[in-house]
Amino acid sequence: MTVFSAFLKVIKKNIVMIIIYTGIVIIFAGLNMQTDNTNGKFVSEKPSVLVINNDKGSEISNNFEKYLEDNCEIAEISGDEAISDALFYREICCVITIPKNFGRDTLNGKSPAPEIRSTGEGDAAFTKILMSRYIRVLNVYADDISDEKELIKSVNDAVSEKAEVEMTTKLDTGSLAKASTYFNFAAYSLMSCILFIICLVLSSFNNLMIRKRTIVSSKNYKKYNFDLFMSSLTYVLAVCFFFAVLGYIMIGDTLLTVRGVMYILNMFIFSVTTLALAYFLSTFLLPKNAITGLVNVITLGSSFLCGVFVPIDFLGEGIKAIAHIFPTYWYIQNSEIITTAENLGTELPLLAINSLILIGFTIIFVVCGIFVSSKKRKIA
């Protein structure tokens, strides 16, 4: 009870820090979850363009303009300066100008091309594809058809064919993406809460004077260490439970599925590894300020390098290679597998390997902690 009471005192003293770390995961994970949830459905978006038709008298030109209206969002802007500003500020992605005599030149086999000014971005490239498709079909049919109305009908029939897009994945990608975002960001807050509190408590109990008092007291030394371990584990379980409940509030019923249970299990294994790291760090008997600085370096450094704050796919190969030495990397790898795997059964071996690596880190930290602690006892 003495050990557990000490834990409660440390937690009460540092409750503000715990709230701050918890607030970080709520704010950052919450902001990153505010994305469109299409649940794996394909959604077509229309680019915003400006069409300038200088050949209004031609049915071919007017039909081309109508084709653009059906496939794009048409902006209403006038004046060269206003048009340039709209392009610069990305209000539109391109300006398409239909030249004079476009329809007549097409019927005469001259294959005229509209002029286009674009931002050079993705929407502009898509608009160019739409325009090129229409012009290519128009020129092909114009070689064989001289009647304007018949030409327009043939072109419309050809370009009106739509491709049906069917997503082969059966996963609820929207909900899983939210879950992945939450648990990835939770790695930082989880590490901070565990490392900070456990290091403070264990460093206090590892203090030379405290240890001497414990040795000469009537308390059994093995019972004392067992109480210390159980108190630490209870705190870790409480933190995991809190983040799991918080996850359910933010994510919803996804956490009650098999994948949700695996997210929580992955978080628990990572938490135990963090507990072992805290035990190892506490053997160095660091003062509170040093513990705070060290915890910030470890948590922030591993979070940036391992894909917590920045998606792992955006990181360079060199950074990924360095990230392998941190437990956080293997936690994030498991999180990504749980999120993206079509069939979790086939990915279980890889999940197990990553989890075993985390357990390996746990063993290494414990062994190193015991070694440092034994050396200090001999010196004392």
Q: Average the pLDDT over 66-73 and give the result.
A: 88
Residues 366, 192: Cα–Cα separation, whole Å: 19
Give the chain's domain count. 2
How far, CA to CA in Å, does 28 sit from each of 20, 41, 57, 176, 253?
A: 12, 26, 56, 17, 21
Instruction: Say whether both 28 and 105 belong to one domain.
Output: no
Tell me: do 265 and 341 sit in the same domain: yes
- Asked whether residue 278 falls in the same domain as residue 216, the answer is yes
- Tell me the average pLDDT across 307-314: 83
> pLDDT band at 181, cuts 50/70/90?
confident
Q: Which of 140, 159, 178 is the last residue of a domain?
A: 159
CA–CA separation, 332 and 106 (whole Å): 58
Is 43 inside a domain boundary?
no
**Is 81 in the same domain as 209?**
no
Mean pLDDT over residues 305-313, rounded? Answer: 85
Task: Tell me, yes or no, whether 307 lies in a domain.
Answer: yes
Using CA atoms, how far apart are residues 152 and 146, in angstroms rounded to an integer? 10
* b/e 369-380 (16+ beta carbons within 10 angstroms → b): beebbeeeeeee
Q: Do 338 and 302 fall into the same domain?
A: yes
Whole-model pTM over 0.85: no
Confidence of residue 266 (pLDDT cuts 50, 70, 90): very high
Enter the DSSP assignment of 308: S
On whether both 323 and 260 belong to a single domain, the answer is yes
Res 125: pLDDT = 87
> Helix, strand, or coil here: 320?
helix
Reduce the DSSP state of residue 98 to 3 states and report it.
Answer: strand
Q: Which of the residue ranges 183-187, 265-269, 352-356 would you say has the lowest mean pLDDT?
A: 183-187
Tell me if 164 is assigned to some domain.
Answer: no
Q: Identify the residue with better confidence: 272 or 145.
A: 272
E-strand ranges in the chain read: 48-53, 73-74, 94-98, 115-118
Among 28-32, 92-96, 362-366, the minimum mean pLDDT is found in 28-32
Residues 302 and 258 in one domain: yes
**Within-domain flag for 202:** yes
User: Are the CB atoms for 327 and 354 separated by under 8 Å?
Assistant: no
What is the pLDDT, as a whole number, of residue 282?
84
Minimum mean pLDDT among 103-107, 166-170, 198-202, 268-272: which range? 166-170
Higher pLDDT residue, 179 or 25?
Answer: 179
Domain C-terminal end among 132, 159, 186: 159
The reply to whether 216 and 142 lie within a common domain is no
The CATH number that applies at residue 69 is 3.40.1710.10
pLDDT band at 326; cut points 50, 70, 90 = very high
In a domain, 252, yes or no: yes
What's the domain range around 142?
48-159
Q: Does residue 61 belong to any structural domain of this protein? A: yes
Between 246 and 38, residue with greater pLDDT: 246
Question: Is 165 inside any structural domain?
Answer: no
Residues 32 and 54 in one domain: no
Task: Out of 43-47, 114-118, 173-177, 307-311, give the one with best mean pLDDT.
Answer: 114-118
Confidence of residue 206 (pLDDT cuts 50, 70, 90): low
- Dihedral angle at the C-alpha atoms of 229, 230, 234, 240, nearest 10 degrees? 50
How sure is the predictor about 56, in pLDDT bands with cuts at 50, 70 and 90? confident
289, part of any domain: yes
Q: Are residues 81 and 25 part of one domain? A: no
Name the amino acid, one letter, at 226: F
Whole-number mean pLDDT of the chain?
A: 83
What integer pLDDT is reported at residue 179 of this predicted model? Answer: 87
Q: Which of 35-44, 275-284, 294-303 has the lowest mean pLDDT?
A: 35-44
Same domain, 16 and 152: no
Give the amino acid at 221. Answer: Y
